Amino acid sequence: MTKDEPTGPGRYGKYYWGLHAPDRPLRYFHADKVEVTESGALLFHGKTGVNVAFSAGNWTEVFAASQLDGHAIAEEADKTPEPVPKGWRSIGTGPGRLVVPESLTVAEWEKALESARDESGNVDTAKMDEEIRRILATRDN
């Protein structure tokens, strides 16, 4: 390790993630990127590859977490989320979660997410919704 490399947990990645898993306490990880594979596995990527992996069924939710208190970032705690409609699935927790059609693949979701990012990396949810509708309409034709 050189003097310019981070030390402590930050050496595993610059972002902090929370993870809910069945029958386990809430856990937190540092990673540069989180990936959900087509098989439903969850991968936490760091500077040197995959830091941690969970197979499908061994995790329920992952979210960007505050390093101050571990709460989900940008979650509106004073609102109760609407139930997820049949045929749809939730990504994330609370009212800030993303609800997408079950038929949307991970690759399609990632494409919609990237197309909705602005220059600062913020996501325009209206643009993302528009891209998801376009993807689904294209698939139906």
Q: What is the chain's pLDDT, residue by residue, as a tens digit (141 residues)?
A: 566 666 666 677 888 888 888 888 888 888 888 888 888 888 898 888 888 898 888 888 888 887 777 767 755 555 556 677 777 777 666 555 666 777 877 788 778 878 877 777 677 767 777 888 888 888 765
Give the range of the structural domain holding residue 19, as residue numbers without chain letter: 1-75
Give CA 100 to chain center in angstroms.
13
Number of domains in the chain: 1
Phi, psi of 28 (to 5 degrees): -130, 145
Does residue 128 sit within a domain?
no
Does residue 118 sit within a domain?
no
Please indicate, yes or no, whether the overall pTM of this predicted structure exceeds 0.85. Answer: no
Does residue 10 sit within a domain?
yes
Does residue 20 sit within a domain?
yes
Does residue 56 sit within a domain?
yes
Does residue 114 sit within a domain?
no
Give CA 12 to chain center in angstroms.
17
Does residue 106 sit within a domain?
no
Best CA proximity match to 111, nearest among 136, 137, 135, 140:
135
Does residue 3 sit within a domain?
yes
